[in-house]
Amino acid sequence: MTNALVITFSIRIRFVNLFKSKELPNKMSLSQHAKNLPRKLSSTVDPNELVLFNGIIEDWWSITGPMRLLHKMNTVRVPFIKDGMVNAGILTADDSCQTETVNVLDVGCGGGILSEPLSKLSRKIKLTGLDANAHFIKLAQEHAHQEGLDIAYVTSTIEDHASRHAGQYDVIVASEVIEHVTKKEEFLDACLKCLKPNGSIFMTTISQSKLANFVAIFMYENLGLIPKGTHEIEKLITPADLGNMLKNLNCDTKNTQGYFYNLLTGRWNTTTNTDIFYCLHAIKKQN
């Protein structure tokens, strides 16, 4: 135990001055700002969450800024999504053999950190990025234009989008989103309404466990690796609970994989342990 504390303390000394994290607005401030948001927001969108991330939007694309861990996370989540699409027969391993267009919806896309690499997986991918925060969508559009990428970014809730685009997508991605949602089953139901039968849904999130609370919230926030106030333990969800929700919504979970951030190497790594961070791939049944 003593050695573990020494290691943790030494890591903190090493990283805390190297990575400075912006502290997000406090709860009272969030509530005041949330009152000024449009009332059209769906019930699964927490207005406080929209305000929460506005405070760091100017540094969204900085690979050394408050979203640096999200940028680095692409090294584990993009391969997981690609492999799942290939295994499901949606995408070919050799892009030159891909003949069918693949419609992908990135729900809660933010400024497009994941949308952009997903759009590059195949010349046949048609990607739509969706977010309820108009500031994020504008940022994503501007960055995609700078990169010469053809991505359709839309300001909308998933519920409103589902009412107009039911059964339109081959793939739904909701990465680091559901831990910010209050009514999770309603959110998942709306996502799945957009998905074609036999389509795939990919999710990445944080498990609800004591270990996740210590590592992903207490430790990472105090080390300055993520902005303080980003996550709340009450909103997190275990792989088992998420899998059961998807099962109740007519989906089969095909794969679950854990991943963790190595403080010594500054890289994300995959693991069989899903007690902290995990990816999940499920397929929507025909009936």
Ligand-binding site membership of 143 (annotated): no
Task: Answer yes or no: is 185 a known binding residue.
Answer: no
Is 224 known as a binding-site position? no
In whole angstroms, give the CA distance from residue 124 to residue 11: 44
User: Is there a contact between 282 and 256 (Cβ–Cβ < 8 Å)?
Assistant: no
Locate 107 and state its tokens: 């729900």
39 annotated ligand-binding residue: no
Structure tokens at 167: 């059964």
Q: Is 108 annotated as a binding residue?
A: yes
The span from the CA of 67 to the CA of 60, in Å, is 6
CB atoms < 10 A from the CB of 15, how many? Answer: 16
Residue 179 labelled as part of a binding site: yes
| Percent of the chain that is helix, strand, coil (3-state, to 5) | 45, 20, 35
Q: Exposure pattern of 178-211 as b/e (b: 16+ CB <10 Å)?
A: bbbbeebeebbbbbbbbbbeebbbbbbbbbbbee
Point out the annotated binding site for Mg(2+).
176, 179-180
Point out the annotated binding site.
77, 108, 131, 175-176, 179-180
Point out the annotated binding site for S-adenosyl-L-methionine.
77, 108, 131, 175
